[in-house]
Structure formats: C-alpha cells, structure tokens
Structure 1
C-alpha cells in the first residue's frame, strides 16, 4: 500500500535523519548547516534542541527547503525535539498526552499520508535513581501509547535517542557497563520486547553484523578511540519494513556527542 508523501527532490524515496544535537545552537556553530547542504535529507528529526524556536536562526534551514515543527520543554535549555521536513505534514501532534513527558518536550508526531513519524527523546537515567525510575515508567507508558496508536496508524516509524544500547554488539565494553544505566538488563529487556512487538531496528536489519555507535562520552578520548554506544534508532513497524532500502550512521559528523543516524525508504 503506497502513501502520498513526496518530500524533497528525492523522487521515489524518502530519506530520514535522526540526530541528537545536544543543543541546536551549539551544533549550528559547529557547521551543521554546511553538513546538511552536502548531505541532503527529506526529513530531519532533532533531539535535545535545548531551545525554543524563537531564539534560533532558522533561515539557513529554510534556505535548504525545510519547514519546522517544534516541541520545546517548559524548562529553558533542556530537552526538546524538532522535526524539519521538505513537505508539510498532514498532521502535527505535540506530545503523547501525558503531562509529565509533554512538559519535557519528548515526543513530536508528524503524519505524512499513511505514515506516522514519531521523533522521540527518551529520558536518561544518568542523574540517579529518581530519573532512572522516570525512565522505566516512560518506557512502559510509551510502549502502551505506541501500541494503541498502531491500531489506527499501522505504518509507524519511531526515531530518536532511546538512551539504551540493546545488545552487546551495540556497546564498546558490555562487561564493564553491565550495571550502567543505558545498558541495564531491564532496559535491554524492554528493547527486546519493543522489537518483538512488531518493530524492526532499521540499522540492524540492513547491517546485521556491523559495529557502529551513535554516542561517545566526551571523556578520555572516547570518540577518537571509537569507544561508543549505539543508543539512537530508527524503528520501523512491520507493515513498513519492506520499504526500507538502506540505513546507516555518519560518525564523521561532529556537531554533537551523538552522531547522525539515517534510513531511506521507498514511497
């Protein structure tokens, strides 16, 4: 079943980028626009924009053909997601209807024809037990939200920073990090449950044995030594997976402590 999305100039395909920018203004100062000009995508999904749209110079994005949809956190300089697309979506929904998450700007839904795209920034548990509890509750609530959404919108792509490395191939040191948030057994079990529920990990589906990371600590030369974690994903619901052409990472892009992740689909 085909859908009507025809963003950009890519003809018969749609290329989606997900990228945790760790501050959009910081990323722009590090050459993000020049990189995007050389690496065109139809849809850009940014996480951790850490700003409201009115304090960011968006003219360079407009010059590249993008229109933006923005879901900022209530707290200044924190969290927030933004989706830039070369074709206006049919519907935009800010949040998931759960105030605890919506006030933090974690989920932005855009519908293109019969495709629903969710741009998501999952909570991190790095600041202690309280936020780890928030993270685990989010995972349960988000799972239920998406399963209900799929009853009426079966073609779903869920992109973003999940803040979880799923398997041992997705982290440089699985033994030493076995009790570290982001690689805890209960988090990894949730990822398995997620993919067992009818989603495909687009990168792993196309690159079953490739070692690639999407985040590196700023400490101890982790990126230079490629001691990273794969915590950013493009999940594709089963009805849509046959349209997946290719998926990959762009670790050479250095606008953030994360790297861009992309997937390309037929339309």
Structure 2
C-alpha cells in the first residue's frame, strides 16, 4: 500500500497549484494532509468529490488555521478524530483510520512558539505528543500494524536540520521536544525514513527567507 503524507500549507492554495492533477497521477492509496486551513464547506469544488476517493476532513474551530484531511481509495472501516480533550480537538490536528488490521494516524503536531515566538506553546505541544502516544501505544503493544504520519514540528537528531548548533534553543529542536521522539523509538517505534535513508541533507521544511531553499538550509520535521 502506498501512503503519502503532505503538509499542504493551505489546501485552497495548493489546489490552485495542481493538487488534483498530482493526486490523479501519483498512485497513492492513502493520502494524509496537514495544515489544511479550511473547513470542508470552504474547499474548492474539485476537492469535494474526488472520483474514486473517500475523504475525511477535520478542521479547527479557528478559521483558516490548522486542520487535517485523509483521502483513501478504499473506504476506511472507521475514522476517529478525538483525542478526548477539547483543547486538542478544537484545533483539528488528528485523525486515526482503520483499514482492516492496519491503523493509520495522521497528525499535525503543534508548534511550540506562541504568537510572539515566545515558546509559550511548548507545554501544550508536549501534552499533545503525550496524548497521541498514550492513545496509539497500546495498539503497538498488541502487535497491531500501525503507521503514524504527519508534521511533527520537531527535528529529531542533528542530522535532521542544516544548522543544529544555532537552533538548540529554538522550538522544534529543543531537548524536551526531541525527547518526545526519543520516547517513541525507545518503545519500539521506527522512523521509517531513516530505515531507507541514513544520510544528511534531507529536509521537509525551509523558511521563506531568500536563498534558504536554494542552499538547502532546512529541517526534517515531517515524518
């Protein structure tokens, strides 16, 4: 089964750049989208009824913020979207779908920065990590096949960002954030990308400052 994860940074803008054409030719069977930033009724017409696709959208209460989407060729046996706390559910950050024995979780994990880039959201971010882990770990312990994909908003190891030394106090590479990913691996989870690619220079996010992308000064925060 081919499963794709993509932070689209706004599905309406992404739709104007050929999202539907990409979806038609990619060959994916399941697609998890993060940072959709639209309610279902705001989606462009071409995104509301993909022929041959089953769709499930979760939006934040705040307009134009957060949100996740799951698209699949076969209908899921079920989709859950609640983490059991309104402070998480109100931001529309999580989906858990079942396809037979396989569980597929799609998450848009919070950034630790507050409105003034003051790190005020780190406690919320760490609580979100803990809640998702507590929800999914029992399934792994039972031996159920489970895939967790999405934007984790944390670079795990120094190899996962271009400039680790200068970002040690930056949200996304702080020790307490990285420890959350350590905990997953200690408990038997696998960073599937690193199974296939152990090398440097592989990133999923770049700032919008001029020349950053061209110089590949990036972060691998999407797993």
Question: Could you state the TM-score of these two structures normalised by the residue count of structure 2?
Answer: 0.92
The yes-or-no answer on 1:96 pairing with 2:86 is no
Partner residue of 2:55 out of 41, 65, 68: 68
Q: Which protein has greater RCO, CA pairs closer than 8 Å, 6+ apart?
A: 1
- Residue 169 (1) aligns with residue 156 (2): no
CA distance in 2, matches of 1:215, 1:230: 6
**For the residues of structure 2 that align with 1:66 and 1:224, how far apart are their CA atoms?**
35
> Which one of the candidate residues 82, 85, 88 is aligned to 2:69?
82
Q: Deviations over 1:141-193 (max 9, x none)?
A: 22222223445572111000000001111101011111110000111122111
Match for residue 244 of structure 1?
none
Which deviates more, 87-96 or 217-226? 217-226
Task: Give unpaired runs (5+ residues) of structure 2.
Answer: none
Tell me what 2:183 maps to.
193
**Structure 1 partner of 2:197:** 207
Distance 1:178 1:197, change over 3 A: same
Query: How many pairs does the alignment contain?
Result: 220
Instruction: Determine which structure has the larger strand proportion and give its number.
Output: 1
**CA-to-partner distance for each residue in 1:214-238, whole Å, 9 max, x for gaps?**
11111132112211100000xxxxx
| Aligned residue number for residue 248 of structure 1 | none
Would the alpha carbon gap of residues 153 and 88 (structure 1) be closer, same or farther in structure 2, given more than 3 Å must change?
Answer: farther
Q: CA RMSD in A?
A: 1.7
The CA deviation at 1:37 is 2.8
Give 1:129's aligned residue. Answer: 119
Residue 49 (structure 1) shift:
0.4
| Residue aligned with 2:180, SS | helix
Structure 1: any 5+ residue segments left out of the alignment?
1-13, 234-267
Write the distance in 2 (CA, Å) between the matches of 1:139 and 1:93: 17
Q: Secondary structure at the match of 2:190?
A: strand
C-alpha distance in 2 between matches for 1:56 and 1:151: 38
